[in-house]
Amino acid sequence: MDGLTYDEVGATAGEMPPGFHHVRAQRVIGHGPADFVRAADALLAGEAQRRAGARVELSETPMREGTRVTMRLGLGILSFRIPCLVVWAERTDTSVGFAYGTLRGHPERGEERFTLTLHPSGEVVFAIAAFSAPGRWFTRVGAPVGRLVQAWMTRRYLRAL
């Protein structure tokens, strides 16, 4: 996939690569097929990112492999452009998700995966897996701040659906 800033495409699906910061988080967001369908539609429309506070542009909706996602966080001159490419997407009757990888210009290098699962118990579980490393000079210098921002955004994503 042209333009990605990392080689480990798809690693959020299993064992994540060494040398990166790893994130795994999940929460129950609903119960039953209606909650699952509602959340699935929102997820593939970029609503987790929007509701978490990012300005989001998608090259197509619903997201699928190859969709370009451009987000912006911050205000004015402190606004960051965050370009990504969807490297995996899938939707079945009981699971839905996508993963996007970083493109040139993204403050980080790595991948983030968002999945929803409708369990046999009826619980709808939203899970996030990510690996990342600083991708720009300012994220290398401010790496501890970057980890705090990532943790904050992960919590916001999980509450967004």
Interval 112-152: pLDDT, tens: 999 999 999 999 999 999 999 988 877 777 777 878 888 88
Interval 33-78: pLDDT, tens: 999 999 999 999 999 999 999 999 999 999 999 999 999 987 777 7
pTM check: above 0.85: yes
Map residue 151 onto helix, strand or coil. helix
Cα separation of the two ends of the chain: 29
pLDDT value at residue 121: 98
Please count the CA atoms within 13 angstroms of the CA of 54 that sit on its side-chain side.
25
User: Cβ contacts of residue 3 below 8 Å, gap of 6+?
Assistant: 85, 103, 104
Token pair of 127 as six digits: 């899970």
Token pair of 139 as six digits: 């994220």
Dihedral sign for Cα 104, 133, 53, 114, please: positive
The C-alpha atoms of residue 40 and residue 115 are separated, in whole angstroms, by 9
Token pair of 157 as six digits: 């994503």
Question: What average pLDDT does the segment 20-28 reach?
Answer: 96
Whether the pLDDT of residue 79 is over 90: the answer is no
